[in-house]
Structure 1
Amino acid sequence: MLVSTQWLKDYVDFTMDADTLAHRLTMAGLEVEAVERPYAFLQQVVVARVDAVEPHPNADKLRLCQVFDGSRVRQVVCGAPNVASGQVVPLALPGAVLPSGQKLAKAKIRGQVSEGMLCSQRELLLGDDASGIWVLDPALPLGKTLLEALDLDDAILDVSITPNRGDCLSMIGVAREVAALSGTRVRYPEISLDETGPSIHEAASVTLEDPLGCPRYAARLIRGVRIGPSPRWMQRRLEAAGIRSINNVVDVTNFVMLEMGQPLHAFDYERLREGRIVVRRAQAGERFSTLDGVERTLFDDTLLICDGVGPVAIAGIMGGLDSEITEGTTQVLIESAYFQPERIRRSSRKLGLRTESSYRFERGIDPEGVPRALDRAAQLMLQLAGGVLATGAIDQYPSPLERPTISLRVPRVNRFLGLDLDAATMAKVLESIEMHVEQADSETLRVTPPSCRHDVTREVDLAEEVVRLVGYDQVPVTHAAAPLYADPPDPHASLRLQVKQALTALGFDEVVTYSFISEKGVKDLGLPEGDARLRPVRLRNPLSEEQAVMRTSLLPGMLTTARHNFDRGNLDLRLFELSKVFLPRPDQSLPQEDHHLAGLLAGRRVPHLLYGSEETVDYADAKGAVEAVLECFHLGSDTVRFSLEPLPPYCDPAVGAAVLVEDHLVGSVGRVDPDVQDAFDLKRDAYYFELDFEELFRLKRPHPGFSPLPKFPAVARDMALIVTDDLPVAAPLDFIRSLNEPLVEQVDVFDLYRGKQLGEGRKSVGYRLVYRAPDRNLTDEEVNALHQRITEKVLSAFQAQLR
């Protein structure tokens, strides 16, 4: 809202300059975005008198004027046809910058010196006349700047009003704030009316068919008005607020709206059919032409102002073409009403029509100010347009709106604000903004806000009023006294982070896929009927069929990501995701949310142009990644077993293994089954691993303690077995470990060989056993005997032969 400080002084006294006032208002909650001085350029324009006018010797249409500026005579070249000796005129001196951007300087025009410029009204933005120079009142003092002589020394504050402060969308509303800040009182306009005409009830009536949408409607009637231009003082007030002057009657309605915050409307009474007003809802699809000449289709919740036959205005938004004020208007019905804010806001947005009236109505006006604004408008119209005011006023107010009475507990407000104010100080602050305050007891005030303050309904609202008027800078700065406390790290989250770091160190990239997948993606894994993963939780409103169910496995998203990369030429992949899956629970609507880990490998093992090779990843790479993950849980070879059973259907049985920890299935690793690769349209082999993070977290071991370095040397013995080709390499390995021989420190595979000399369907596997005693040196005889005993047991268990 644009606020003229000069206009503001009509209602409140203050000594602050415009910049200080802007700061004080901003600190009180009314943000002033800018301070403009629209007539500052008039400091270089003075009141002068034309003493003589002579023809220009070198131009037929120019004249040489001798102009007295109050201190000396200046020669000015002028082309205005109306310039004459003895006139008092505005003289722009050299150095002045006019609103057009023209900067004046002493210059020669057709060989004659010109020391300034005689100006028209339009050149100074003080009127529309551009036909000649502006002839001023001869009583104005010569030499005075036009800024002082015409009392135009004004500053315009651009105030940003928040949606809850509709009471400040008026000059008097802002004056209330200024009065509270400066310790003065508001001067309200004195209103007196001379009702000399017949009773208004003999000529007009108002019917409220929708009292909820229009709780109050008031009207007055003036006959014999004369439509004409408004006086200059009113035009300047409207221009300062950014509103164009139209005529004296319409200007009065805009002036009172800006002054009191109450939008008004003036009807040409003679064009109101049957001389009555009906307030009703529009019918859906009903059409109406507004003042801007647009025919609009209305909605069934749009509030209409109608005469005895049809609509004449959209309530609170805009009037209609059929009842507007024209040059021939002689009888005016003035409307002043209170409309439900929500109704006006909704209608304004639906119709795409925002006006100064709707801007105020939708924020809430003062319902008790309706008759006061009506009387003020009638007073000004009688002054500016003449006429006879009908006796009385129509005021339909069937259900008066009640104002709340709020209890303010002084100690609580002080605790809330961090202040130490007594009840008397709080009462004085609230009374400065026209709230009615009574003392209930020594620590409680009973406060009734004025009818214009719809935003004050609770004790906390009163606390806000107190602190903003006392000053936010009066709130002491305090520091929190609470001790700092940090929750211990979540072991589950810490372990997830450790696993991610381990895989990242191995060259993997983390991906994040959608929790919503297609049902087809789950079925494409080839899961058997009855598998719980085939019963995913379905979304009620999925974005698409590709995101219709919640994932029960991370693999569909991982394989889809691989296809996306393969299709775009990114063939070397090491991806992982550690996230939740959503598994159905019997007889429960919500799923079980468990963390799973999935990884995928494809392409070259070392994809480096200079140091890499064309070797591709294989099962060993995927298994190595799994072993690195298991090390994060402190699960080593003594508890982990890779088995051919039970393999999931999406794992290639020729190249894969189930991962077991202490005989608990925790996942699988291997090559993606060819059928599953085809289902996901993967154009090359891919290896995967999938682990149940929750099960691994349950089975994790504590961090191993420190073990001293061995003092005695180890002794190694090799065992090369010839076995059938279908025997897993891990089977003898696990068997040896299961013997739990105390002197066996470590067992590893060191060789794998297939050849013609071994025969078809046979292979040679070399195992290295490391023996060590913690308290002595082992002798060869002791090691050989133990190694022989273990070898015999292995040969017997697996029908193997020594190579």
Structure 2
Amino acid sequence: IYDLELSPPPGRDPGVAGDGPVDVRVEDFDGCPRYIGRLFRGVQIGPSPAWLRTRLSDAGMRPISNVVDVTNYAMLALGNPLHAFDSAKLHEGRIVVRRARKGEQLRTLDGVMRELEETDLMIADADRAVALAGIMGGEETEIGDATTDVLLEAANFEPYAIFRTSERLRLRTEGSNRWEKGVDPHVAPQAAALATELIVELAGARWTGDVDVHADLPPRPVVRFRPERADALVGLETPAAEQHALLGRLGFDVDGDTVSVPTWRARDVTREVDVVEEVARFQLGEVPYTLPLRRAMFGRLARDQRLRRRVEDILTGLGFAEVYTPSLVEEDPDRGALRLNEPISVELAVLRTTLMPSIVDAARRNVQLGNERISLFEIARVYESSGGKLPVERIHLAAITEGGYPRAKGVADALARGLHAELRFVADKHPLLHPKRAARTGAGVVGELHPTQLEGEWGVLELDLGLLLDEVREPIAYHDVLAYPAVRQELAFVLDVDVPAADVFEAARDAAPEVRDVRFLSDYRGDPIPAGKKSLAFSLAFQSPERTLTDEDAASLRARVIETIERSFGAELRG
């Protein structure tokens, strides 16, 4: 982009402190085109410095020890996986790359005894297998605190053999993932140099010997390239000299109408159109915006699609931001949750049955980053156990916001009003919610997050979107605006604490057709209210479509409501 030379890759060989022999024998060059072995003595195993531990942790890897961390760091930096053996544990100090023998076994670093097949590519010593090539090392030659001599492996393995063994054993590692995609055999010496430099620096080691065993390495691919073809595909005219210069900066060599591809791009640049793409990357900013010509439009949104968009609009209007979190989690509250046989990683091993832990984690990360006024929501699938091989998929809505239970309840009410649905709330408990500030509706749960989950007062809700949309009243029936004024009254009753307020309000509405509105005012528990009781206060609006109600009418309606509630719930009117 800036017409500068490519920076050299990291890693410089320090001086060799000896000329010791390194015995490496490759019996299968088809599976292992190249094997570089380097011997180190006087190694001091210990923790890595803070900068190295931090970089590995940021990349999602667990720091172990200085030598092991160096191999992982070099892999992340250059893309070539490495492995380190305790050289003293290698019989006769020998490395042999071969196929597994019939009936052979290997206990890998994860403590599992693996049954090997004759197609598996192995790293062995003089008489036994010591590692699954490109996948995982063995326990018997593991680097430990007592290790002083290390043999570093910087090899190149054929992708399909690694993939086949990894799939059969259901053993996925950072190394196998890279080998399966193909690694440039010419990068192995650079990876060895970087690891050597760091082992000498961080472990106080002496590099005493090395060997590079390889067959004929593949040459750089040569691809035909016509600048005019690039102009035709990109839609812009770029001088041929400029195109050649762009390719040169990326490590390509141009010779007439052919291009030599750098070895590290040999697997993905194999055709003329691939070379054109390299040129096009620099021209994208100059390509004019052109919308496709639309001659006709078909289809329309289904009911659930329209309602889902309305839910999204309501929440964004309330100040929420939408987030996307992984459907795969490390653990799930439901013990029957579907667990993958071959997870990508231990953190992504189970199909979640609930969104609430994920949305809480998202809020927690935002708090840690110092963000304020956090309000997040997610609409995504959950996967409930069906008792069979496949789960039952449902679409859930989860939201979290600062403000505790009142804020979460207000959000749920706003959704109900916006969807023209009716939600009834009943006190309930949930493992992630405050034991006395949680409620359940027919579609899910609403409550205040338990203070042990996240500092502060946070309102959380999770609703089954399908069940919520089932509550939507369609078509919507509108009533004429009443011309006569309403008469408002306030009532307070003492009743059992376990009586849901929603049931009381519904009974009040059913007491008389003139009861037009019931609104919650307060829920008080304490002196002078007896233990096990609560004081529930609410307002009523009486209104007739035919005439203005008199004081006598209002008093009669009030009496009917009081009688209904006292009879239905054993309540007592407060004076």
Normalised by the length of structure 2, the TM-score is 0.49
Q: Larger radius of gyration, structure 1 or 2?
A: 1
Name the structure, 1 or 2, with higher relative contact order (CA <8 Å, separation 6+).
2
